[in-house]
Structure 1
Amino acid sequence: MNNQTLSYSNLEEESVVSNDYSTTIGALILGLVFLLGVPGNLFIVWSILARIRRRSVTTLLILNLACADGFLMTLTIFFVIYLAMQTWVFGEVMCKGVFYLCNANMYASIFLITLMSVHRLVAVVFPRRVSFLTSKKIVKRIIIGMWVLVMVISIPSLVFRDVREDIDDTNEIRLVCAPNHTMPRYVRFQYAFETVAGFILPYTVIIVSYVLILQRLRQTKFRRKVRSEKLILAIVVMFGLFWLPYHVINMIQVAAEWYNEGTPMKDKLDHIVATSRAVTSALAFISSCANPVLYTFAGKSYIKQNGFAFMARLFEGTSLDQTGTKKSRAMGTMGTSSVDSTNSPAVTTLQNGK
């Protein structure tokens, strides 16, 4: 048992900085993500807090998403330095803390996107039956509960991580912030749970929500939804495209733990994980800096007229959703639905997407 544990610990010491090519690509990607993501998300936060007085449910969700993404982007500087120096210089507390916060913000970003999808689904498909679920008071409570949830389910990344010494190919000793699993079942638990809770389940909800939304929009008599449908598809595809490689590597690592030490298949799977982890992790970060780009694309028609206030002008359209829903109820006898009454360019462009 001691020999097995020792062998397994040696395997776990192989960190994301064990491959020069992978770490170089990862560092470059994260550097660009930091330069684009931090100012982009801060601009969104500023636009909402400083320029929007009346904030809709969608705007509140966008604000929380921008805060989560922006905070996640600030953490990338630690990973850039880690990959560039190929040694962890920030100590064990920061090792655990940075990876924990990174994991928590990963869950928060995904869950907030899921909440946006569900909120839009309720507003479009079930505007009268369950409209109370989309009130700002209820949504604020859900957001608080979501943040508590992500802080709890991120605990494994805090527990299964520490700083240890590693010897590279040149026999130089370096410090790595690496997983500290002592048994294969801990690896299977952490990465399988992360993929199921942080990708498979929420992404399934997002896909189902948008399929139902698009079906409902196609039933309306208004035809201004072509651009919105493209934006919806772009958001869904972007989310899956950037996160799928990361979670594929997670599942490969889980699969590797079902094979005995020294077997050819285990060695092959371990090699794939070791050479791909840095790049796939960096790609996952791109999804958080891509949101400001998508919002800019959605609000480009406001840029010439509103300048730096174009983002606020775009988000202000979301407040029409609540007003439009109330109007549609009052005009129910006239055959006007809440979907039709909220079909302004700003609403259809942004809310149908995010």
Structure 2
Amino acid sequence: MALSTIPPILNITTPSSPIVDTGAGTTVGALILSLVFLLGFPGNLFIIWSVLARARKHSVTTLLILNLAIADGSLMALTPFFVIYLIMKTWVFGNVMCKLLFYLCLVNMYASIQLIMLMSIYRLVAVLWPRHVTLITGRKTVIWVLAVVWVLVMLASVPAMIFRKVRIQNNSSVCEPVHDDNRDVALQYMLELVFGFLIPYTVIVVSYICILRRLRQTKFRRRIRSEKLILAIVLTFCLFWLPYHLVNMVQVTWALCPKGQVKETLNLIWHKSRAVTSAVAFISSCANPVLYFFAGKSYIRREGLAFMARLFEGTALDSATRKSRQNSQNSREKDKEADAVMLKEKDQDSSSNAKPVNNSK
């Protein structure tokens, strides 16, 4: 396929040189992805093993962390393909793999942020309404919610499979989005921006504002350490994905902007930044094992390889569930004691009232 055979309309929304042909940008991207793979892939596998083989109880938080590790680990498993792509500066895996790999990347990106959002919502309910948290902690309920999340993210990622194609550009094969017009560009990246960043992070920020306010007002202070761990996961994800979504904003603005100097400048910005910001976004998937390691290092001497599982059991807010059950059990015991006292007093009253009757006889 020669460059001249590409329909002219496609050149409207596609830069004149491939994204991987940016010199230092691709070199930095390849280095980042290599380090991310070496650290993140075995780290997430260890988390999955810890939950499945070492965790004594699969709580809601543990199941969410397991699914998050599966999403991150799957993303890490794809990084060697992109390292080769950045080093060779040409796509050698064919059109089907071009569509499939970028589709799976988007699926795991969506899944990660949606799972973190669910984690925040669950902790919000557990802190603000601990007596009602048992209503959403049933195993079937959690599995159904997780299944719905995975189905939704798979559907939301379909545009990546539709628009990605292998094309010949500057005598090299590139795997890039190919759009018929600028509206398709805006649609694809606005979907990523809204569903993958704005909505979940709005929910997360509101949830944690409410959680932290409640923690300062109540006796939940002893769980502030676990809140800090989950908050660190949220902030880390935001830190590494924010540049990627900023580039999405730039590309959407470029697509909707009329022709002129501004449009050319925006085109240059997103084109030069895409490879690096995408590589930086991958770091978030290897950051969680590092956070878990530092959070659970106090368990290492006592628990050995099971330290990660004990950390998850310790940070799970099922302690709130246990507390609510304890409170309800204590209240039932107090009610029983109160009933027993009332019955005893009633018996005493009836016996004392019965004595005059016997004397009269």
Q: Same fold (TM over 0.5)?
A: yes
How far did residue 91 of structure 1 move?
0.4
How far did residue 332 of structure 1 move?
4.9
How far did residue 237 of structure 1 move?
2.2
For residues 156-167 of structure 1, what are the structure 2 equivalents within 5 Å? 156-167=159-170
For residues 135-174 of structure 1, what are the structure 2 equivalents within 5 Å? 135-167=138-170, 173-174=171-172
CA–CA separation in structure 2 for the residues paired with 1:125 and 1:105: 30
For residues 231-242 of structure 1, what are the structure 2 equivalents within 5 Å? 231-242=229-240
Is the 1:259–1:266 Cα contact (8 Å) retained in structure 2? yes
Give the one of 290, 294, 299 matched to 2:291.
294
How far did residue 234 of structure 1 move?
2.6
Q: How big is each residue's C-alpha offset from its partner over 1:94-129, in whole Å with a ceiling of 9 and x where there is no partner?
A: 000000001001100110111111111111111224
Q: How big is each residue's C-alpha offset from its partner over 1:299-328, in whole Å with a ceiling of 9 and x where there is no partner?
A: 111011112111112123335453333113
Q: Which residue of 1 aligns with 2:321?
A: 322
Give the one of 295, 302, 305 matched to 1:308.
305
Q: How big is each residue's C-alpha offset from its partner over 1:13-63, in whole Å with a ceiling of 9 and x where there is no partner?
A: 643202011111111111111011100000000011111232111111111
* Residues 1:7 and 2:6 are matched in the alignment: no
The percentage of aligned residue pairs carrying the same residue is: 58
Q: Which residue of 2 aligns with 1:107?
A: 110
| SS of match in other structure, 1:15 | coil
CA–CA separation in structure 2 for the residues paired with 1:42 and 1:268: 42
How far did residue 144 of structure 1 move?
0.3
Is the 2:10–2:179 Cα contact (8 Å) retained in structure 1? no
- TM superposition score normalised by structure 1: 0.87
- Code of the residue aligned with 1:105 in structure 2: it is N
- Code of the residue aligned with 2:38 in structure 1: it is L
| SS of match in other structure, 2:222 | coil
Is the 1:119–1:134 Cα contact (8 Å) retained in structure 2? no
CA–CA separation in structure 1 for the residues paired with 2:179 and 2:16: 10
| SS of match in other structure, 1:331 | helix
Give the one of 242, 267, 271 matched to 2:268.
271
| SS of match in other structure, 2:19 | coil
How far did residue 93 of structure 1 move?
0.3
| SS of match in other structure, 2:130 | coil
| SS of match in other structure, 1:326 | helix
Is the 1:18–1:274 Cα contact (8 Å) retained in structure 2? no
- Structure 1 residues 66 and 229, CA gap change in structure 2 (3 angstroms): closer
Equivalent pairs, count: 327
How far did residue 212 of structure 1 move?
1.0
Is the 1:13–1:178 Cα contact (8 Å) retained in structure 2? no
- Code of the residue aligned with 1:326 in structure 2: it is R
CA–CA separation in structure 2 for the residues paired with 1:201 and 1:183: 26
| SS of match in other structure, 1:16 | coil
- Structure 1 residues 232 and 47, CA gap change in structure 2 (3 angstroms): closer
Q: Which residue of 2 aligns with 1:282?
A: 279
CA RMSD of aligned residues (A): 2.1
For residues 235-274 of structure 1, what are the structure 2 equivalents within 5 Å? 235-261=233-259, 263-274=260-271
Which stretches of structure 1, 4 residues or longer, exceed 4 Å deviation after superposition?
Answer: 332-335
Q: Which residue of 1 aligns with 2:70?
A: 67
- Code of the residue aligned with 1:148 in structure 2: it is V
Unpaired runs of at least 5, structure 2: 1-5, 335-361
Q: Which residue of 1 aligns with 2:37?
A: 34
Q: How big is each residue's C-alpha offset from its partner over 1:251-282, in whole Å with a ceiling of 9 and x where there is no partner?
A: 10000012234x11111000001110011111
- Structure 1 residues 180 and 51, CA gap change in structure 2 (3 angstroms): same
Q: Which residue of 2 aligns with 1:350?
A: none
- Structure 1 residues 62 and 126, CA gap change in structure 2 (3 angstroms): same
CA–CA separation in structure 2 for the residues paired with 1:13 and 1:73: 30
- Structure 1 residues 298 and 332, CA gap change in structure 2 (3 angstroms): farther
Q: Which residue of 2 aligns with 1:224?
A: 222
Unpaired runs of at least 5, structure 1: 168-172, 336-354
CA–CA separation in structure 2 for the residues paired with 1:208 and 1:333: 35
* Residues 1:18 and 2:21 are matched in the alignment: yes
Q: Which residue of 2 aligns with 1:346?
A: none
CA–CA separation in structure 2 for the residues paired with 1:40 and 1:80: 19
Q: How big is each residue's C-alpha offset from its partner over 1:135-154, in whole Å with a ceiling of 9 and x where there is no partner?
A: 22211100001111111010
Give the one of 145, 165, 185 matched to 1:187.
185
